[in-house]
Amino acid sequence: MGGLDTALVAAPEGNLSDYLESLERLAKIAPKVVYPTHGPQFSDPADSFRRYRAHREERLRAVLDALQAGRRSVAEITTAVYGEAVDMELRPWLEATTLAYLDYLAGSGLAGGWHDE
């Protein structure tokens, strides 16, 4: 999906709230090394956990900005967040990820007025 720096958190299996809580739990454990199920080991997990959280928060802000700009469908919001030039093979994954962000925001009461058309 373009690198090993972040994990796919996409509906219906992926739950952004669970993902963020998992990052917090892992950060509290403070491991010295993490061996993921794929990819190389993490020799500085604390930094990786911070980066992952910052990445998700950045995307959440972008989704909120799209909602505030009047975008309402998952397709419109995905385009606003990821741009027009996205590889069409990635589009379904990006829309599923956008839906996970929207579900998280709706559960937090921050996506008022959102509905998929």
Summarised one tens digit per residue, pLDDT across range 80-115 is 999 998 889 989 989 999 999 999 999 888 887 665
Q: Which of 45, 29, 38 is nearest to 7 (CA)?
A: 38
Q: What is the CA radius of gyration of the chain?
A: 15
How far apart, in whole angstroms, are the C-alpha atoms of residue 6 and residue 93?
14
Domain ranges of the chain: 16-107
Q: Give the whole-angstrom CA distance, residue 95 versus residue 5.
A: 19
- Give residue-wise pLDDT tens across range 32-50: 999 987 778 888 999 989 9
From the CB of residue 73, how many other CB atoms can be counted at a distance below 10 Å? Answer: 14
pLDDT digits (tens, 9 = 90+) for 47-84: 989 998 999 999 999 999 999 999 989 999 999 999 99
